[in-house]
Amino acid sequence: MADITDIKSILYTEKTIDLQENGVVVVQTSRRMTKNSLKEVFKEYFGVTPSKVNSLNQNGKVKKFKGKPGKRPDFKKFYVTLPEGAELANLSA
């Protein structure tokens, strides 16, 4: 069972800020989080039941760190559509 600690962060980029104006919040989570468990967390912690949830498995990029090959960590990203007029009160997860 997933809980609020599985949500790593709420992403703030140019694209996600534009989406937030339309009621879509982008959340970075652990790989074990599912759509249903994310809906439960949003309902319990934020008090909002999402109307739609889309998920995306993001593979880490292969990069060089100090000249040595390395890989950024993999993570899961969710696009959470909130109901009309709903806001997240506790946005600092």
- Compute the distance between CA of residue 82 and CA of residue 88 in angstroms, rounded to an integer: 9
The pLDDT value given to residue 50: 93
Per-residue model confidence (pLDDT) at position 93: 43
**Local confidence pLDDT in tens for the 93 residues of the chain:** 677 888 999 999 999 999 998 889 999 998 889 999 999 999 998 888 999 999 999 999 999 999 999 999 999 999 999 988 777 765 544
pLDDT for res 46:
86
Domain locations in the chain as residue ranges: 4-81
Distance of CA 82 to the CA centre of its chain: 13
Record the pTM.
0.81
State the pLDDT at residue 56: 95
4-81, superfamily in CATH? RRM (RNA recognition motif) domain (3.30.70.330)
C-alpha separations of 25 from 20, 49, 50, 63, 67 in Å: 5, 13, 10, 28, 36
